[in-house]
Amino acid sequence: MSQIFHEIEKKIINSLQKKLEQTPEQLSESTELSIDQIRRGIEWLRLKGLAQVNESSKVTISLGKNGIDAFKNGLPERKLMELIKDTPKTFDDVRTMLSGVGFNAAIANAKKNGWIKIDKTDSGTKISTKEKPVETPEEKLILFIGEGTISEKQIENKLALKFLLERPDYLIQSTQKIKIITLTEKASQIDTTLSDSGAIDVEADAALVYAARTHPLKDTIDEIREIFVKLGFSEIQGALTQSSFWNFDALFTPQDHPARELQDTFYIENVKSENHASSTQIKEVSKSHSQNWHYDWKLSESQKMVLRTHTTCATIRYLAEQKPDQARIFSLGRVFRNEKVSYKHLVEFNQIEGIVIGNNTTLRDLMGIQKEFYKQLGLTKIKFWPTFFPYTEPSLQTMVYNEKLGKWIELFGMGIFRSEVTKPLGIDKPVLAWGGGIERIAMLKYELDDVREFYNNNLNWLRSV
Ligand code: PHE
């Protein structure tokens, strides 16, 4: 697995691969990074499960004020022995010569060591050497510590340590928390391929973070929805499964129309739609078909359930139920067609669809709305082309120029609902309608020439757009 590491992480890993256990301070030294950078780097590596931090405490010893004096000039008992080396001295002499400080300690320790003897004479109490004063363990310890700081563990003679600790200001004992950093097994294998330069490249690329994001197709859907809302439209919804009645018959699509054939439409097996329309609606639609298309309209054919092939079923149902005098409505959602999947066709895709109903609405208004919609999407090179739908007259097709492909792409279909559609359902105002595929628009937006890319879950592409 390849991973992207920050320069700081690389240096820490590299150093720990060479020397397995290090404190942050040691790492700072070996990597030439500041202690703050080291702390940050350790934390990143720890979160990635690449480094471990073991905390332990360490007791250290250094000399205090009296200890330093003893290191330089000897312990008071040693000073005392110097004073009486040649001739015995009285208590008073010694007290003044030792200038009082440490006098009691000097006597007590020299006695304890068996170095002196004390005799009461006529001229006062005399102190004289009893035994040659050999170097004591305490003296050895003071020399060993010297002016540095050592770990308590290094001291072998614990008794000497105990005695010195009991004497005032000889030793400073402190407890330090230390962190030992090690790499986890995973990290010891990592090849950081560190450059030889010890300098930190402040312009190096930061690790890329791919935060969660919405799918580009979802972004397009949201954008389109927002444009229609801004243009004063309200959204309606429809079910994905529909009776053939609303998907086809109500839209004046004859029962032998090729679009209704099995190779174009997904039918739901063994389900018959009941009560999807009123008896008047069924009677009037049936009449419209028989009279105008001249064939024998069958109820059973209209009861077949389908996966909706367009969103126009939602539109026509809304019109039949609400019969509004004035409205701006849109509907958006998934539709299904039994197509061979290719670079421009999917079996499931999304459509947007809208209607305007009101007084004095003309085809020109419809074209104006289309132009405005495309403009908001940044598409300005458009033209209208005559086409055919069973339910609109006249019928137009919008074409948009795709600069990248260098060709005209068919986008929305539109027209004015025929009276053969509206009259049977009791709608007597002219209805402007249009609709089309959203993936096509998204393809233009993302400059794709294969619609399947939206569903490929290609992370590289998804991250790049
Ligand atoms: N339903 C048509 C289609 O699926 C689009 C359309 C909607 C055409 C409304 C005219 C009116 O392509």
DSSP sequence for 258-269: GGGSTTTSPEEE
Residue 103 CB: number of other CB atoms within 10 A? 18
Rounded Cα–Cα distance for residues 329 and 433 (Å)? 10
Phi, psi of 222 (to 5 degrees): -65, -40
pLDDT for 199-217, tens place per residue?
A: 566 777 777 788 888 999 9
Mean of per-residue pLDDT scores for the chain: 91
What pLDDT, on the 0 to 100 scale, is given for residue 110?
Answer: 93
168-198 per-position pLDDT tens digit: 999 999 998 888 999 999 888 888 764 444 5
**Domain map of the chain by residue range?**
7-50+184-194, 65-173, 216-464
Q: Are 65-173 and 216-464 equal in CATH topology?
A: no
* Confidence at residue 196, expressed as pLDDT on a 0 to 100 scale: 45
Determine the distance from the C-alpha atom of residue 176 to the mean position of all C-alpha atoms in its chain, rounded to a whole number. Answer: 38
Per the structure block, which two tokens stand in for 158? 């614990």
Residue 1: the pLDDT is 42
Name the residue among 354, 330, 331, 320 with its Cα closest to residue 432: 354
Residue 200 CA to ligand 1 center (angstroms) comes to 61
Return the closest-CA partner of residue 425 out of 281, 327, 283: 281
What pLDDT is attached to residue 58? 86
Report which ligand 1 atom has the smallest distance to the Cα of 412: 5
The number of the ligand 1 atom at minimal distance from the alpha carbon of 413 is 8
Q: Is the CB of 333 under 6 A from ligand 1?
A: no
Ligand 1 pocket member 439 (CB < 6 A): no
Using CA atoms, how far apart are residues 61 and 25, in angstroms rounded to an integer? 20
Closest residue by Cα to residue 254 from 291, 309, 306, 305: 291
pLDDT of residue 195: 46
Q: Phi and psi (nearest 5°) for 258?
A: -55, -30
Residue where the block lists tokens 């197509």: 339
pLDDT > 50? residue 260: yes
The pLDDT value given to residue 199: 59
Answer yes or no: is the C-beta of 248 below 6 A from any ligand 1 atom: no
If one residue of 353, 367, 370, 373 were mutated to test the ligand 1 pocket, choosing by the most ligand atoms within 8 A of its CB, it would be: 353
Residues composing the chain: 465
**pLDDT at site 427:** 94
Query: How far does the centroid of ligand 1 lie from the alpha carbon of residue 312, in Å?
Result: 6
Q: Indicate whether this model's pTM tops 0.85.
A: no
Burial readout 67-99 (b: 16 or more C-beta within 10 A, e: otherwise): bbbbbeeebbbbbbbebbeeebbeeebbeeebe
Contacts of 141 (CB under 8 A, 6+ apart): 155, 157, 160, 161, 164
Q: How much is the average pLDDT of 252-264?
A: 92
Q: What is the architecture, at CATH level 2, of domain 216-464?
A: 2-Layer Sandwich (3.30)
Q: In sequence order, what are the beta bridge partners of 181?
A: 22, 53
CA of 165 to the centre of ligand 1 (A): 96
Atom number of ligand 1 nearest to Cα 335: 4
Q: Does residue 63 line the site of ligand 1, with CB under 6 A?
A: no
Average pLDDT over every residue of 262-284? 94
Per the structure block, which two tokens stand in for 427?
């709608």
CATH class of 65-173: mainly alpha
Rounded to an integer, what distance in angstroms lies between the CA atom of residue 460 and that of residue 446? 14
CA distances from 271 to 268, 299, 302, 307, 409 (A): 6, 14, 12, 12, 38
How confident is the model over 48-106, as pLDDT tens digits?
899 999 988 889 999 999 999 999 999 999 999 999 998 898 888 888 888 766 888 89
Tell me which of 116-120, 298-302, 403-407 is least confident.
403-407
Q: What are the structure tokens assigned to 279, written together? A: 């008896």
